[in-house]
Amino acid sequence: MQARRAARELALILFSQMDNIQNLNKWDFQDIVLKSVRTLTNNSADELKSSVSSILEIKEFIEEYESNHPKNLERPIDVSNVPVSIPTTAEMQDKLDELINIAEKTMLAIEIAEMATLEENSDVKEYIVKITDTYKKNKEEIDEQIKKFALGWDINRLVRMDKDILRIAICELVYIKDAPLKVVIDEAVELAKKYSTEDSASFVNGILGKVVIENNLK
């Protein structure tokens, strides 16, 4: 995973604390980044723990299905069951999809944590600082663009996560300009899918598309 992808995810957590860190300097961000890493890994750990019940349910289903299968019902009580084919059901697919999603998020959190703490002045930390400094210097202009294109929405009432995802992406698109437009937008959409509401991905994608046109970005 690229360092900037990790930086975007950690920056999103950091932005949730933005109101309290306006006066922090570059080096103060070290502690904030560490706290963000801990938040990300702790959330993933909690989700992983909660998935244990789903794993146990699947295991219990398999064991009962095997025991109640005609092949095993015909066998003597004192012998072990033989393996049988298991039908794929929608319910089991949903449970497995949930477990896969949790596993992927946990692996991502571990990877981000490893990259962010690999060295004191890593590329991840430097890019987080760049994004945050850029937003602090251009806050009014960035929020004004969100307000302009979020027609019918009061920027103060937007889902905080959506607003912060847009702020980070606009920092990269309009001011930093170090990454391809498609990469920035695609990863902003992915963050919306992962952390925000059901409609957030299309909302974020639509706003950023208008930002690209408005600023003649290529």
Q: Give the chain's domains with CATH numbers.
A: 3-214 (1.10.940.10)
Residue 166: the pLDDT is 96
**Residue 45 token pair:** 């750990």
Reading phi first (left if > 0) and then psi (alpha if -120 to 50, else beta), residue 25 is in beta
Give me the pLDDT at residue 32, please: 65
Q: What's the pLDDT score for residue 119?
A: 47
pTM score, whole prediction:
0.65
Sole residue written with tokens 């992915």: 190
pLDDT of the residue at 185? 95
Q: CA-to-CA distance for 41 and 108, rounded, in angstroms?
A: 9
Neighbours of 28 (CB within 10 A): 11
Nearest CA-CA partner of 13 in 157, 132, 133 = 132
Matching residue, tokens 């590329």: 123
- Which stretches of the chain drop beneath a pLDDT of 70? 1-2, 17-38, 40-41, 43-45, 47-48, 50-51, 87-92, 105-121, 152-157
- In 3-state terms, what secondary structure has residue 62? helix
